[in-house]
């Protein structure tokens, strides 16, 4: 009965502009294994992602749950702020970038404008909303891979970002194998290592709605791997609330949403240098939007 009340309330309270209930109920036609291979195909076409940085200290700005429908004021403000920071190396979007398929070209155009104004690269990861309404092919078209690594090379060291796709809870067999290879064979070559994903590995509610939360056994395995191979931080979104956890020597940091109308809203800023890797939860855009 409680689940029925929740579903009815969801239907009544969700904006019609954002809701196509059949699109939510019908699962993505591509499972985790198929999406992995499609992301790998994108990686083969693009080659290695390497950022050559002029100085050892740099910033990474991280946003999640932007949920664009037809307005981009907060997205634009976030990108503007990153362009004003001379230490910005790149930006990360942790999924749920759009809420409707019609928003893909709009977000793509805003990113192109960002680049025309000299903005730094934006790397993206898919969230569960990118799979709704059979949106995965559009994600591939406009953003490309959701499983990849980025190398940041400074004059003194090199750091690694590992992007994971967790849109349907489990990473799947092939992505788990790929991750183990990256951590075991590639990670030792780098100073700092950051994992970025959409789902909150420590979620205990039903926030994935018709999906499910990450399997407990998989979460335990991942946290063991992150500890063993000295992952410095795991960045997460999805739950629309900021959180900073420390587990088995690894920081698990969740960002506030950047969705229009959401409060509190905000993003994460990573500050890396020769001494340390710091992560700040920025609780709102400045000025507020």
**Helix or strand (DSSP H, E) at 220:** helix 216-228
Asked if residues 231 and 188 have their Cβ atoms less than 8 Å apart, the reply is no
- Structure confidence at residue 228 (pLDDT): 99
Asked if residues 270 and 63 have their Cβ atoms less than 8 Å apart, the reply is no
- Structure confidence at residue 289 (pLDDT): 61
Interval 156-193: pLDDT, tens? 999 999 999 999 889 999 999 999 999 999 999 999 99
Contacts of 1 by beta carbon, 8 Å cutoff, 6+ apart: none
Strand order in the sheet with 122-124: 122-124, 88-93, 58-63, 267-272, 277-282
Closest CA to 78 of 272, 268, 280: 268
Spell out the domains of the chain, with CATH numbers in brackets: 2-282 (3.60.21.10)
Contacts of 60 by beta carbon, 8 Å cutoff, 6+ apart: 88, 89, 90, 91, 92, 161, 194, 269, 270, 272
- Structure confidence at residue 229 (pLDDT): 99
**CA of residue 37 relative to chain centroid, distance:** 19
Give the angle subtended at the CA of 25 by the CAs of 202 and 238, to the nearest 5°.
25
Q: Which position has the token pair 């693009």? A: 46
Q: Which position has the token pair 């780098």? A: 190
Q: Which position has the token pair 């991750």? A: 179
- Structure confidence at residue 21 (pLDDT): 52
Positions of the chain with pLDDT under 70 = 1-27, 204-212, 287-289
- What gap in Å lies between CA 254 and CA 107, rounded to an integer? 23
Token pair belonging to 267:
């993003």
SS (H, E, C) 58-120: EEEEEEECCCECCCCHHHHHHHHHHHHCCCEEEEEECCCCECCCCHHHHHHHHHHHHHHCCCC
Respond yes or no on whether the N-terminal peptide bond of residue 287 is cis (omega within 30° of 0). Answer: yes
Pairing between β-strand 233-236 and β-strand 243-247 as defined by DSSP bridges = unpaired
């Amino acid at each position: 009965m409680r689940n029925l009340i929740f579903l009815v309330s969801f239907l009544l309270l969700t904006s019609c502009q954002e809701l196509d209930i059949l699109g939510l109920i019908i699962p993505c036609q591509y499972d985790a294994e198929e999406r992995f291979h499609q992301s790998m195909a994108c990686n083969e076409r693009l080659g290695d992602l390497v950022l050559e940085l002029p100085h050892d200290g740099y910033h990474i700005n991280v946003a999640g749950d932007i949920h664009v429908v037809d307005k981009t004021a907060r997205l634009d403000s976030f990108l503007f702020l990153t362009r004003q920071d001379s230490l910005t190396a790149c930006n990360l979007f942790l999924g749920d970038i759009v809420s409707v398929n019609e928003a893909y070209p709009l977000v793509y155009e805003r990113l192109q404008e960002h680049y025309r104004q000299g903005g730094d690269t934006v790397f993206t990861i898919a969230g569960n909303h990118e799979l709704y309404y059979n949106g995965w092919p559009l994600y591939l078209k406009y953003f490309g891979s959701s499983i990849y690594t980025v190398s940041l090379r400074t004059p003194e060291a090199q750091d690694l970002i590992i992007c994971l796709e967790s849109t349907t809870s489990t990473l799947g067999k092939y992505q788990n194998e790929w991750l183990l290879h990256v951590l075991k064979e590639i990670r030792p070559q780098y100073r700092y290592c950051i994992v970025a994903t959409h789902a909150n590995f420590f979620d205990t509610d039903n926030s994935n709605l018709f999906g499910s939360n990450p399997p407990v056994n998989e979460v335990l395995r991942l946290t063991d791997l992150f500890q063993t191979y000295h992952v410095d931080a795991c960045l997460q979104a999805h739950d629309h609330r900021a959180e900073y956890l420390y587990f088995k020597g690894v920081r698990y940091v969740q960002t506030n949403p950047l969705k229009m109308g959401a409060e509190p809203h905000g993003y994460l800023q990573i500050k890396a240098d020769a001494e340390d890797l710091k992560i700040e939860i920025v609780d709102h855009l400045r000025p507020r939007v």
